[in-house]
Amino acid sequence: MPPIAASEITPEAVWLSRRRWLQQAAALALGAGGLPPALAAADASRPALPAAPNPEYWLSNKQTSEKDVSSYNNFYEFGTGKTDPLEYAAKMQTSPWTVSVEGEAARPRSFDIDDLRKLAGLEERIYRLRCVEAWSMVIPWTGYSLAALLKQVEPTSKAKYVEFVTVVQPGNMPGLGDRIIDWPYVEGLRIDEAMHPLTMLVFGVYGKTLPNQNGAPVRVAIPWKYGFKSGKSLVKIRLVEKMPVTSWVKIAPREYGFYANVNPGVPHPRWSQATERRIGDGFFAPRVDTLMFNGYADQVASLYAGMDLGKNY
Ligand SMILES: Nc1nc2c(c(=O)[nH]1)N[C@H]1C(S)=C(S)[C@@H](COP(=O)(O)O)O[C@H]1N2
Ligand SMILES: [Mo]
């Protein structure tokens, strides 16, 4: 049999994304039918965000449904319940929006969200998301590597860490009344983690701009770390010399560390991290084994060579 010309093979990534586009078109033709009203309303106002599928970052796992991705959320600014973000996040104002990139940089500046979105080519990537609460999802994000933005401001040699500061909108965020977190929600990465190509600046999900509850208009996604590292609705990115005091470390340093790498061998003090529940599989479905670095060990293990990951949790 003659070999098939490479040009005739549709990479799985391209094929899947085309198929989803067709499904979306079909769903649009049918109307928003079964969606809860809040979801349907948010959906109608969210423009499509065309992006090239990146086969390098593509998983064949079954994707979590768009409905689950946008209705089962952690976004404490809107409350601690999983459906609070869906219920309350619509009030958050996402336009106009600027992100200031400052600190240890030769060319600090702020970016209007429309310019930021166009700074690099948008890609669609499917990532695992593993929450520290031992549930997980498989999500198609749209964005590009955060490194593309950081390079624009030229980090100085003193830039050892990156701090992410998220938005605070009193009046629009009913969760701010809970003083669990000393707002704003702050997260951070070591500079080499932030520059790693897997670390993604995210503007969209499921081929459309982000719903507010997923961190509109821009958030990060760091797939080898527990979900709390991925700050949503970013307003400031600071390059700093010292390790930032991040929100969860401040609340409970014995339970949550700065690194927060997904690690089935290092339990949370109050529960195991060895397995996870895939959202959408049903409560009684068998749990899935959690993978070291959430399945991204080949790409990121070298960042932690020689480090004691039990101590640096
Ligand atoms: N600003 C902000 N970002 C946040 C959070 C939050 O409460 N506030 N929760 C984190 C947690 S615990 C998780 S698991 C992820 C969830 O992202 P998703 O709801 O888009 O799936 O967002 C993270 N980013
Ligand atoms: Mo989480």
Domain boundaries, the chain: 11-304
Question: What separation in Å is there between the alpha carbon of 121 and the centre of ligand 1?
Answer: 25
Question: Which ligand 1 atom lies nearest to the CA of residue 185?
Answer: 1
Q: Which fold has domain 11-304?
A: Sulfite Oxidase; Chain A, domain 2 (3.90.420)
Question: What separation in Å is there between the alpha carbon of 153 and the centre of ligand 2?
Answer: 30
**Burial category of 93 from C-beta neighbours within 10 Å (exposed 0-12, middle 13-18, buried 19 and up):** exposed
Residue located via tokens 């770390």: 225
Residues in the annotated binding site for Mo-molybdopterin:
73, 76-77, 131, 166, 214, 219, 230-232
Closest Cα to atom 6, ligand 1: which residue? 75
DSSP state of 245: -
Pocket test for ligand 1, best of 164, 230, 234 (most atoms within 8 A of CB): 230
Cis omega before residue 217 (within 30°)?
yes
Residue 278, helix vs strand vs coil: strand
Question: What separation in Å is there between the alpha carbon of 175 and the centre of ligand 1?
Answer: 13
pLDDT in tens, the chain (313 residues): 344 444 444 455 555 565 555 555 454 444 444 444 555 555 667 899 999 999 999 999 999 999 999 999 999 999 999 999 999 999 999 999 999 999 999 999 999 999 999 999 999 999 999 999 999 999 999 999 999 999 999 999 999 999 999 999 999 999 999 999 999 999 999 999 999 999 999 999 999 999 999 999 999 999 999 999 999 999 999 999 999 999 999 999 999 999 999 999 999 999 999 999 999 998 899 999 999 999 999 999 999 999 999 999 9
**Burial category of 122 from C-beta neighbours within 10 Å (exposed 0-12, middle 13-18, buried 19 and up):** middle
**How does pLDDT run across 161-213, given as a tens digit for each residue?**
999 999 999 999 999 999 999 999 999 999 999 999 999 999 999 999 999 99
Residues in the annotated binding site:
73, 76-77, 131, 166, 214, 219, 230-232
C-alpha to C-alpha distance for 188 and 237, rounded to whole angstroms: 9
**Both structure tokens of 183:** 């707002």
**Predicted local confidence at residue 45, as pLDDT:** 73
Three-state secondary structure readout of 161-211: EEEEEECCCCCCCHHHHCCCCCCCCEEEEEHHHHHCCCCEEEEEECCEECC
Residues contacting residue 5 through CB under 8 Å, at least 6 positions apart: none
Closest Cα to atom 7, ligand 1: which residue? 75
**Predicted local confidence at residue 13, as pLDDT:** 58
**Predicted local confidence at residue 62, as pLDDT:** 95
Which has the closest alpha carbon to 164: 107, 258, 217, 235? 235
Question: What separation in Å is there between the alpha carbon of 131 and the centre of ligand 2?
Answer: 4
